[in-house]
Amino acid sequence: MTASSSSERFRGALAIPSETERREVIVSLDKAEGSVTIEFEEPVAGSAEWRGQNVIVMDRPKYQEIQFITVDLPKETVRLTWKMNESKLDDTIAGVVVARPNAVRVRGEKGFILKRV
């Protein structure tokens, strides 16, 4: 798993909408470049690494809000919206991943908590 030297890394487990099993993951955030990389321990839809698109970082009093999308994860044409809050008080990110309406019936939303590594 790779990450740039200026990125923050968070590790934990999360479930993808339409799946029940949780997967080990590392999320790398580079706020200076506005990039997010999701690295799964086991490949999902043919790849272990997924890059966030349309990354938005908003500074709030107690946390930084990070939003982005992924496309074709876990199936082709599926767009997932990721919303994460990075706490300024501890080393955690709390988030939710939401499936946008799609033709392949991937539905729902899944919450998660990751810890800084």
29-82 pLDDT, tens digit each = 998 899 999 999 999 999 999 999 999 999 999 999 999 999 999 999 999 999
The closest of 71, 17, 12 to 47, measured between CA atoms, is: 71
4 pLDDT tier (thresholds 50, 70, 90): very low
Task: Give the other-Cβ count within 10 Å of 43's Cβ.
Answer: 10
Q: Where are the domains of the chain?
A: 8-116
With 90 as the cut, is the pLDDT of residue 2 above it? no
Q: How many angstroms separate the CA atoms of 113 and 6, rounded? A: 22
**Is 74 exposed, middle or buried (CB count within 10 Å of its CB: 0-12, 13-18, 19+)?**
middle
With 70 as the cut, is the pLDDT of residue 5 above it? no
Choose the CATH number for 8-116 among 2.40.160, 3.40.50, 3.30.70, 2.60.40.
2.40.160
